[in-house]
Structure 1
Amino acid sequence: MNDIIAYFSTIPSLHRSLILVGGITIFWLIENTFPLFQMKYKKWPHAGINFFLTFTTIIVNFVLAFILIKTASWTTENHFGILQWIPKIPIWLYTLIGLLLLDLIGAYLAHFVQHKIKFLWRFHIVHHTDTWIDTTTANRHHPGESVIRFIFTTLGVLIVGSPMWMVFLYQSLSVIFSQFNHANISLPEKLDTFLSYIIISPNMHKVHHHYVLPYTDSNYGNIFSVWDRLFGTFTTLSKEKLVYGVDTHMQPEENNQLKNLLQIPFQKSRSAKNS
């Protein structure tokens, strides 16, 4: 555990980039070999759009990174935050609690709020417009949403009082798990179900990408599934019934053209439908 802490305390930017690229590459290869769905689409043009939006996310996080670093340093220096207030516990438990809480605020809460506040949904809907969910979809975020998610991550660091090494560890795990649960991979149903009691499994997250309510408003988690189960937002749907996308933007010119995706938050809003 001490080696992990030491590594993430000084993790180079190159290594963080390799985690991102390496994860996409590995899950890309797996989903080509063991696909959940045989989707008939032009994979490289589709990936190009998602890679562009991934790049804008990297830029946003890089530009604002100093805020995150300053926040983490302030919490530890001033003994502020949940982790700073709890009594001394084993480092593995300390880390687990920290990751759970960061996932609650930085992922689950951020995701939940974006679905419930119309202004924020305008940005998040870009992620949901993808009608071909694969591992590249994981970072299909409008630059505006990247800023929103960064704010929630920073809020999480402040409330949790997490040191910077834990933030880097959380962000690395978040990237990998997001690529995993978006990947178009077919796991044995019993294995996927078992995993869904602990982490966000592929089948569990795919329900969130079903094109109509109430399924769109469910399964908000990214790493740990405990929050969806605890707060009653967990649901299931057989893969045979899954239709990817969001019912307000099902036309290719709306969901598969980068220019329109960037403009969606500033277009007239549309009402979603229930199933």
Structure 2
Amino acid sequence: MEAFLNFFETMPIWMKAGWVFFVLAIFWILEGYYSLVILNYKKWKHAKVNLILLLFVMVINALFGIVTVGVFNWLSDSKFGLLHQFVAPVWVELILSILVLDLIAQYGVHYLLHKVPAMWRLHLVHHSDKNVDATTGTRHHPFDFIIRETFALIAVILMGMPIAFYLFYRILSVAFTYFTHANIKMPLALDKGLSWIIVTPNMHKFHHHFELPWTDCNYGNMFSIWDRLFGTFVYGDPSKIVYGVDIADHTNDESLAVQLGIPFNRTVHSKK
């Protein structure tokens, strides 16, 4: 286990970036053979905005990486955090850390992005995509992503976790992000069955439905247990899903300038 975690701790930046593009490419290809719905769009043109937003995300992630190193050095010296309050096997600490990260840095912040008006206007960029596919997982306004990274650091500090735990979670999170957004079709029974524990493609697609109440359900990224526990889980008829968001359907979802300006666009009326 120590060697396994050490691999993630010493993982070079090029390998981390390579993982992002590798997983994205895998689901990009699978979409062409096992599509959930036939999307009437130009795949590469649609991907352009999402991939440019991905570059912004990667730059922000690199900047946060500098801050993160300082945080982990402080945690190591101060012994601050819940993991320093008891003794448990490494694998137990790892599972607890992943659960807390998923709860705070994914479900918790995602819930707030929908419920706090100013945050929702940032998050609209993600929901304004009218053709959800694997690249939609990269579609975040830069300010939206900064908020997400801040919450991730809060989870790290609360747990006092080693950097290897955090990096391992990030690797898993990337895989789930592209898996759940990908336009792939799984056997309905399998998708429903897995959704008792993890977030599945169908489950997350309800979240991308253009109107309430589905838009405000299924906030999870990796584990569906949070949605079930807090009453935000939904699983209906996938054929009834319509992508986009009703209050921003008049905007151009394939224009980078329009998308970056949505939070400040007075013609976009918040639902809040």
Q: Do the aligned residues in 2 keep the contact of 1:73 with 1:164 (CA within 8 Å)?
A: no
Distance 1:165 1:207 in 2: 33
Q: Which residue matches 1:207?
A: 206
Which stretch of structure 1 is more off in the superposition, 158-167 or 202-211? 158-167
Please report the TM-score for the alignment, with normalisation by the length of structure 2: 0.96
Listed as ranges, the matches of 1:25-64 within 5 Å are 25-64=25-64
Listed as ranges, the matches of 1:136-147 within 5 Å are 136-147=135-146
Q: Which residue matches 1:16?
A: 16
Q: Which residue matches 1:187?
A: 186
Distance 1:110 1:84 in 2: 25
Q: Do the aligned residues in 1 keep the contact of 2:130 with 2:244 (CA within 8 Å)?
A: yes
Structure 1 gaps, min length 5: none
**Residue 264 of structure 2 aligns to which amino acid in structure 1?**
F
* 1:70 CA drift (Å): 1.5
* 1:89 CA drift (Å): 1.7
Q: What is the CA RMSD across the aligned residues, in angstroms?
A: 1.3
Distance 1:51 1:222 in 2: 20
Distance 2:121 2:218 in 1: 19
Q: Do the aligned residues in 2 keep the contact of 1:212 with 1:272 (CA within 8 Å)?
A: no
* 1:90 CA drift (Å): 2.1
Which stretch of structure 1 is more off in the superposition, 132-141 or 231-240? 231-240
Given the alignment, which residue of 255, 261, 264 partners 2:253?
255
* 1:176 CA drift (Å): 0.8
Q: Which residue matches 2:225?
A: 226
Q: Which residue matches 2:83?
A: 83
Q: Secondary structure at the match of 1:33?
A: coil
Distance 2:46 2:263 in 1: 20
Q: What percent of counterpart residues are identical?
A: 40
Q: Do the aligned residues in 2 keep the contact of 1:73 with 1:163 (CA within 8 Å)?
A: no
Please report the TM-score for the alignment, with normalisation by the length of structure 1: 0.95
Q: 1:27-72 CA distances to partner (integer Å, 9 max, x unpaired)?
A: 1111111000011100001111100000000011112221122112
Q: Secondary structure at the match of 1:254?
A: coil
Distance 2:254 2:232 in 1: 29
Aligned residues: 271
Q: Do the aligned residues in 1 keep the contact of 2:208 with 2:215 (CA within 8 Å)?
A: yes
Distance 1:115 1:123 in 2: 9
Distance 1:149 1:105 in 2: 9
Which stretch of structure 1 is more off in the superposition, 259-268 or 67-76? 67-76
Which stretch of structure 1 is more off in the superposition, 69-78 or 160-169? 69-78
Q: 1:180-237 CA distances to partner (integer Å, 9 max, x unpaired)?
A: 0000000011111111111111111001000101111111010111111111111112
Distance 1:270 1:110 in 2: 22
